[in-house]
Amino acid sequence: MEAIGKATRGQRLDPEDVTIAYVGGGSRQWVPNLVQDLALSAFDGTVRLYDLDVEAAERNAEFGNWVQEREDATANWTYEATGSLDAALEGADVVLLSTQYDPSETFVHDLDVPEEHGIYGAVAATIGPGGIFRAMRTIHDYKRIAARVREHCPDAWVFNFTNPVHFVTRALYDEYPDINAVGMCHEVLHARAHLADLASEHLDVDAERADVSVNVKGINHFTWIDEAYCDGVDLWPLLEDVAESEAGTREFTPADLEDASPFVDNWQVSWELFRRFGVLPFAGDRHIVEYANWFLHGGQEGLNRWGVKRTGSDFRAKHWTPAESEQTTDVEAWLAGEKAFELEASGEAFLDILEALAGGESVVTNVNLPNRGQVEGIERGAVVETNAVVRASEIRPLAAGGFPRPVESMIRGHVDTIETIIEAARDGDLDQAFRGFLIDPQVRTLQTEEAAELFAELVAAEEEYLDDWNVADADVLDGVDVEI
């Protein structure tokens, strides 16, 4: 792999004085994890937590300052909450983006309404009808954030963790082409850890994620690899053997998965696509099936047969409610002394990236950036996911090559959907957005009239989150018997 094209360049970070603006600072998962990573880091500074739910941001600020008082905290950070985006961003060195709307008012519709039309999505978070509507209610907010970054901290490093990563990161660049924005996702990290486990099991080595290197390429949640090494040993023969083994050809029933977590990953979809196309998908199966839709047919049995469990709307709604959530963080219980707290690193790559940008040891990791030639066969400007070299003041993508024609065809189709929605968002053109919706592979299982009905039903269910779209004058909604 070689570094190619234009690097994303920004300011060099000062480890002794970093200002981080966190948009979505009331997060119950990402912020508590970040607090622990920062407490164990080689950096000092200030974190400004911005959230529409100021109370949630204040709770996280209290937690952050509480963690800093622990003896095992090696860094020195101060946390403060704010209800002003401008105040959070002013002069920031780093901006983190991690937001979502109440799933009970949005996500549940993304899952349930398409199901009424026979589309049994597994996650509905990044592509397909639900993923597209998640993008439509998010894109304009992030264009506004990009405009504020341009005004208040134009040289800041911006890290986007918000799904759908490819839509959202693309929207940031669409508004502010010179933004130093990077889309982040941990799916590739999890997949590398899985290959390390396979190497340890079959090659009699003691491997960890850091020992595994891969040539990753694609779009977020639909990444692929065509090379894999563990400490210099070629893993490809092992992967081919596993794909043909009993472990790579398992079948499941709904009963097998009844008590499983929706996040379970049995890799059966990945092995099947590897056998069919000769390159290996490298994101969780629950995401891959949203892009490679064969596995969605047949409803629950069809999906479960491949070891994938649907993340249902009931789970999404409960996940939002702290009392019922299965999240691993529990800030209020920790602060009240009702639950034991142990300071530990999350295992995410973010702090490694910050250290490299500050002039520390360079690192190679997966990132989402506009395509400047790092991926062949995909249009320039579309946000793609590849490895990149991160070093002082720059993130430079690595040349990843192209794909077998069938895989390239699938990826390009999804890029066309993403780019069509981004173009439509510039003027809030709902009819143009429907055209992007209509060419999505999940939607193409429907007649065009039913696709329009599904689109109109989703608009009706989520209209209060679609203020930036011209709903009143949209032709696609004419003649559809849905109350808007």
Question: Which residue, 81, 15, 79, is CA-closest to 44?
Answer: 15
* pLDDT for res 110: 94
Interatomic CA distance for residues 314 and 255, integer angstroms: 19
pLDDT tier at 101 (50, 70, 90 boundaries)? confident
pLDDT tier at 44 (50, 70, 90 boundaries)? very high
What is the DSSP pairing of strand 76-82 with strand 94-97? Answer: unpaired
Instruction: Select the more confidently predicted residue: 440 or 100.
Output: 440
Cα angle 455-457-463, degrees, rounded to a multiple of 5: 95
Mean pLDDT for all residues in the chain: 93
Interatomic CA distance for residues 414 and 373, integer angstroms: 18
Residue 243 has which token pair?
A: 């794909």
pLDDT tens, 116-153? 999 999 999 899 999 999 999 999 999 999 999 999 99
* pLDDT for res 447: 97
Question: Which residue, 180, 170, 222, 221, is CA-closest to 419?
Answer: 170
Q: For residues 213 and 229, is the Cβ–Cβ distance under 8 A?
A: yes
Burial zone of 354 (CB within 10 Å; 0-12 exposed, 13-18 middle, 19+ buried):
buried
pLDDT tens, 54-75? 999 999 999 999 999 999 999 9
Q: What is the mean pLDDT of residues 398-416?
A: 98
* pLDDT for res 321: 57
Residue 75 CA: distances (Å) to CA of 18, 39, 123, 423: 12, 5, 37, 44
What is the DSSP pairing of strand 394-397 with strand 383-391? Answer: antiparallel
pLDDT tier at 100 (50, 70, 90 boundaries)? confident
Query: Residue written as tokens 């910050």?
Result: 354
Give the sign of the dihedral formed by CA 226, CA 232, CA 236, CA 239. Answer: negative
Answer yes or no: 186 catalytic: yes
Q: How many CB atoms lie within 10 A of CB 426?
A: 14
pTM exceeds 0.85 for this model: yes
Interatomic CA distance for residues 47 and 26, integer angstroms: 12
Q: Which position among 117, 186, 190, 194 bears the catalytic label?
A: 186
